[in-house]
Amino acid sequence: MARRIGLLGGTFNPVHIGHLRAALEVAEYMGLDELRLIPSARPPHRETPQASAEQRLAMVELAVAGESLLKVDDRELQRDKPSFTYDTLESVRGELAADDQLFLLLGWDAFCGLPSWHRWQELLEHCHILVLQRPDTGNEPPEALRDLLAARSENDPLSLLGPGGQISFIWQTPLAVSATQVRQLLAQGRSVRYLVPDAVLAYIHAHGLYRE
Ligand code: ATP
């Protein structure tokens, strides 16, 4: 039977409940077999004074421990430079059966920026795209995406067929949490309890992360 696998990339600097709830809700709604969080590499000079790639990965692993739907995929950190999403998709696809379904999750903002991505018009050769759309955003997509949307969008995300090739929107009210906010609170010596899982909080404190 074909598997259904979701991918959510991000810097996860650090991972927070906004990422985790979005991932879990999409995984349940879509009936995925698993949803993989894929921490991205960043240019080395951007790492300080923040968390290293190893620390960001460790926090994502702690966050999903015990949640069977959520997994961590560290392939982008195994390379010595930031990866293109196209290359990551090709690499993941190479490990799956031909009829397995792959769903790339993108926030609305990321989706609107798609035309600047490496080989963006070929992404759909490897996956479906699920755009996480907030109920309160009424924005029009950029001109460059109109033709793609006209040709490839499918209203009901549960009707996406085959291994890839279509775009659908998932309407979801996100939790108002960002990694920027978490870092800022920590830099000010304030608590981020309940914004990140307890295990991530303990890791942040044990390693003295995000302090000014
Ligand atoms: P930063 O504040 O550092 O820019 P971030 O919180 O936006 O970080 P990223 O690692 O850039 O986190 O996000 C990875 C993915 O998770 C992106 O697709 C982003 O749209 C999504 N995401 C981030 N925050 C939320 C949230 N609160 N609810 C739902 N999705 C989110």
| β-pair partners for 168 | 130
55 has pLDDT over 60? yes
**DSSP E strands: which ranges in 34-78?**
34-39, 70-72
47 has pLDDT over 60? no
198 has pLDDT over 70? yes
- The mean pLDDT of 64-72, rounded to a whole number, is 98
Cα 154 vs. chain centroid, distance in angstroms? 21
126 has pLDDT over 70? yes
pLDDT at residue 139, as a whole number: 73
* CATH value of 4-175 in 3.40.50.300, 3.40.50.620, 3.40.50.10320, 3.10.450.50: 3.40.50.620
pTM value surpassing 0.85: yes
pLDDT digits (tens, 9 = 90+) for 35-45: 999 999 976 66
CA pair distance 132, 173, nearest whole angstrom: 9
Decide whether any atom of ligand 1 lies within 6 Å of the 111 Cβ.
Answer: no
Amino acid at 133: Q
pLDDT digits (tens, 9 = 90+) for 81-111: 888 999 999 999 999 999 999 999 998 888 9
Return the sign of the alpha-carbon dihedral for residues 193, 196, 199, 204: negative
Ligand 1 atom closest to the Cα of residue 174 is 28
Q: Give, for ligand 1, the residue of 8, 17, 19, 88 to mutate: max count of ligand atoms closer than 8 Å to Cβ.
A: 19
